[in-house]
Amino acid sequence: MISFPKAKINIGLKVVEKRSDGFHDIETIFYPIPLSDALEFVTISGKTREDELVVSGIDIKTRPEKNLIIKAIKKIRTSYSVPTLKIHLHKVIPSGAGLGGGSSDAACILKSIIKRFRFPVSEPELKSIALETGSDCPFFLNPVPSFATGRGEILKSVKPLLEGYHLVLINPGFHMSTKEAYYNCHLSKPETSLEKLFSHEISDWKKYIVNDFEDFVFKVSPKVGELKSVLYKLGAVYCSMTGSGSSVYGIYEKKPKIPDKLKEYIIFEGTI
């Protein structure tokens, strides 16, 4: 069975407070984009009990047993008899880039397993399994533009305001540790809900919508901040780092002319 786990960008990201469970409450807009991995699995016959994960494409430098796909399979296997699987993951979405690729892969393997073996999993149960796997995973169970609160699992769909806009997504090749980013992030409760700010004209977003991780990431890797400035100089109506970094995107009313020096960093360019 094959699926295509999508990437997302964050439009704004406010880190509100640290929770008693060690996680953080946030506000963000998750917005899916047409950049995806490819994920396929088959059952393994015989005596082997270990799932096999083969990864091609981008080198994500993660041991198979640490991959969220394997974690997700182990979670659902505690309640359902999932046979031993051989999984092939072709990575297009870079890791440590703020694009949710690992969470999307995990959500897709959960949905695919349930569909393939016809397990009677309720929506609340599936969301619970996904959340135990990773904070972003519940969004990728049904990746539509959403206002997210809590750890990111409390989701409310929003209007797809970026339909028809042109997206330029770049990655400087710098892997940002999510744990380190959260540790160094300034916490603050928003005066105005991000959901309300998102409803403003897109051309006004740069006045109001921010990603709280940018200050720290730009200090650690000035290149990320420089690339954001370059995207604005090309005429973007809004630019931001996504997630806890390190990818940066620009939103344009029409396709910009990309200078050669920027092309090496582009991982996606096209209409949203």
pTM (two decimals):
0.95
What's the rounded Cα separation, in Å, for the pair 145 and 135?
16
pLDDT band at 96 (very low <50, low <70, confident <90, very high): confident
Question: What is the bridge-based pairing of β-strands 2-3 and 38-43?
Answer: antiparallel
pLDDT band at 89 (very low <50, low <70, confident <90, very high): very high
Structural element, H or E, at residue 8: strand 6-18
* 45 has a pLDDT exceeding 90: no
* 47 has a pLDDT exceeding 80: no
Range 79-106 average pLDDT: 96
What's the distance, Cα to Cα, between the start and end of the chain in Å?
A: 26
Provide φ and ψ at 133, rounded to 5°: -80, -40
What's the rounded Cα separation, in Å, for the pair 227 and 248?
7
Whether the Cβ atoms of residue 78 and residue 129 lie closer than 8 Å to each other: no
Per-residue confidence (pLDDT) for residue 149, from 0 to 100: 98
Residues 6+ apart with CB under 8 A from 112: 1, 3, 39, 41
Range 242-257 average pLDDT: 96
Angle between helices 123-133 and 101-117 (to 10 degrees): 140
Whether the Cβ atoms of residue 111 and residue 3 lie closer than 8 Å to each other: yes
The structural domains of the chain, with segments of one domain joined by +, span: 2-157, 166-271
pLDDT band at 244 (very low <50, low <70, confident <90, very high): very high
* 63 has a pLDDT exceeding 90: no
Residues 97, 178, 210: CA angle, nearest 5 degrees:
75
Provide φ and ψ at 38, rounded to 5°: -125, 135
* 77 has a pLDDT exceeding 80: yes
Per-residue confidence (pLDDT) for residue 157, from 0 to 100: 98
Whether the Cβ atoms of residue 99 and residue 245 lie closer than 8 Å to each other: no
Per-residue confidence (pLDDT) for residue 59, from 0 to 100: 87
CATH number of this structure's domain 166-271? 3.30.70.890
What's the rounded Cα separation, in Å, for the pair 8 and 203?
21
Per-residue confidence (pLDDT) for residue 46, from 0 to 100: 75
Per-residue confidence (pLDDT) for residue 43, from 0 to 100: 95
Range 132-137 average pLDDT: 96
Whether the Cβ atoms of residue 165 and residue 271 lie closer than 8 Å to each other: yes
Please state, for a pLDDT cut of 70, what percent of the chain lies above it: 100
Per-residue confidence (pLDDT) for residue 174, from 0 to 100: 82
Alpha-carbon radius of gyration of the chain:
19
* pLDDT tens digits along 153-177: 999 999 999 999 999 999 998 888 8
**Residue 12, strand partner residues:** none
Active site positions, annotated = 8, 136
Range 8-26 average pLDDT: 96
* 48 has a pLDDT exceeding 80: no
Please state, for a pLDDT cut of 90, what percent of the chain lies above it: 88
Per-residue confidence (pLDDT) for residue 196, from 0 to 100: 97
Question: What is the bridge-based pairing of β-strands 52-57 and 85-91?
Answer: parallel
Provide φ and ψ at 74, rounded to 5°: -65, -35
Residues 6+ apart with CB under 8 A from 146: 29, 30, 139, 155, 156, 157, 158
CATH topology of domain 2-157: Ribosomal Protein S5; domain 2 (3.30.230)
How much is the mean pLDDT over the chain?
95
